[in-house]
Structure 1
Amino acid sequence: MADQQLSAPSRVPSGIRHVNHDHRRGYVKIGNHLAQHRELSMAAIGLATHIQSLPTGSKVTIKALAERFPEGEVRIATALRELERHGYLARFQERLPTGRVVTCTVSYNNPPEMAEASRERRDPPRRPEPKPTPQPDPEPEPEPEPAAESVTPEAESEARELLARLRLRDPRLTLSERDTVRLAPAAAEWLERGLAPSAVTAALTRSLPTQTIHSPAALLAHRLRELLPPRLPDPWASDPAGPDRTVHPLRTCDGCERAFRSPTPGHCRSCAPPPTAGTATAAA
């Protein structure tokens, strides 16, 4: 008689098995985005679960959590930083009416990023419409210069030379030929109003900024527009501008050693010898 063959036992699947019962009280809900987070450590996931189960007002400082769990303060602090980085926790300081500064902690069971991702999975985004090909921005037009009032070609030519020579005063005021032509009518208006070229140059180069001048043309255009002097009254309009006053250097008198201004060294007026009779007769 043949031996009886026992049937092979049913194959038991490997892996976890769940035996779930509904909780009636004392439970907390957490999302799979937290429980199965791929970038959070187990310590951070467990700490987030514990914090979400606490009632409002509970202390969740590093020291208080270290007294509750066997992990040390360093590991708890690391886990808290992980939760902050991924949006499950926010900590900020707030000043009370008494002046005391306290640390406030906010726990998010569904961070905004996770909620947005969940909505996108539930409601797939519509197919985006093709965007129009961006056109390159046109080159900005230069700032319009003040309209010159009937400047002569001679004044405009002199103004161009004046503007070109500004770089001799300060290399930062080097202008391109295009900027020189564009600014010349405004500078010529200064010359037409009776100012000497040296006065115009002084007004344009006085009290320049100490830092780098990124746009010398814009700086000069602003000064030509804002510092333009008024026209002289009619009785003075026909008077030509006199020559610039010459300031002689200080000299030391060879006689009394007093300081005086003179184009050449020698004696001051008090120590100067009187003119001889021959010189006076020749002068007469």
Structure 2
Amino acid sequence: METKEVFINGLGLIGSSLARAIKKRNPEIIITAADTNKNTLKYAISNKIIDKVVENLENIKTADIIILATPVDQIIKMLHELSKLQLKSGAIITDVGSTKQAILKAAEELVQPSVTFIGGHPMAGSHESGIAAGRADLFANAFYFLVPLKTKNKQIKELQSLLQETNVKWFEIEADTHDKLVGQISHLPHIIAATLVNRTENEFADSKLGMELAAGGFKSTTRIASSDPAMWSAILKTNTTILIDQLAKYQQQLSEVQEALSNGDQEQLYNLFFQAKNSRDKLN
């Protein structure tokens, strides 16, 4: 099926970047969109990121591909709404949510046989948010997870073709494996960064000197603490079981560091940094 019309719900950093990438390679495709922020929609129209604003879900019935690019809780709510509509035959629905088990469960409500749901998650982003921060090359060389509800290779290839300009590395994965993986390498680091900033702010509550003197190490470690609070609280809410387990393991390792400090165990402290350096250097 030739893609002629795409509907995007949510024109924040991710949604607007996808829209830009689609338009860059396929300017003839009509992109319609919805967003709770009217200023965002005005920006999208004036900058030719989208072609039309959708104010009623009835108007998305002509869309070939529907992209849900809102926080996870809103994606789940939208899937419930879409399940009540008679969508275009052959339509593909996908999302960009950071957890997948809860979303795929909600997608099971889509009983229209000619409609395909493909869970998606581009592993790219920024501590900045909003439509003005979006760009067509945001996802370049990043992994883009695909979690199909039911494997349909034709529809997967169609989605990949639409998003070809993103230049991502496609990776199919099971929902539970995905949530455990991103819990460790994405969600947990966001929790750690946020708590480190808050702990430091509390530590120097009586003096601004500490935060004012924060330099490269602190800033680079906590950069992601500037991420959108609404989005991240919604993400964590749908991955609680996995995160509780990962937090417990992390707290255990912190306890071991505390014990090593108390015992003056320099060897253990050395091994902590040696192992971390070897692992981190492999990412460069």
TM-score when normalising by structure 2: 0.19
Bigger relative contact order, structure 1 or 2, given CA contacts below 8 A and separation 6+?
A: 2
TM-score when normalising by structure 1: 0.19
| Structure of greater Rg | 1
Instruction: Considering fraction of residues, name the structure with more strand.
Output: 2
Instruction: Considering fraction of residues, name the structure with more helix.
Output: 2
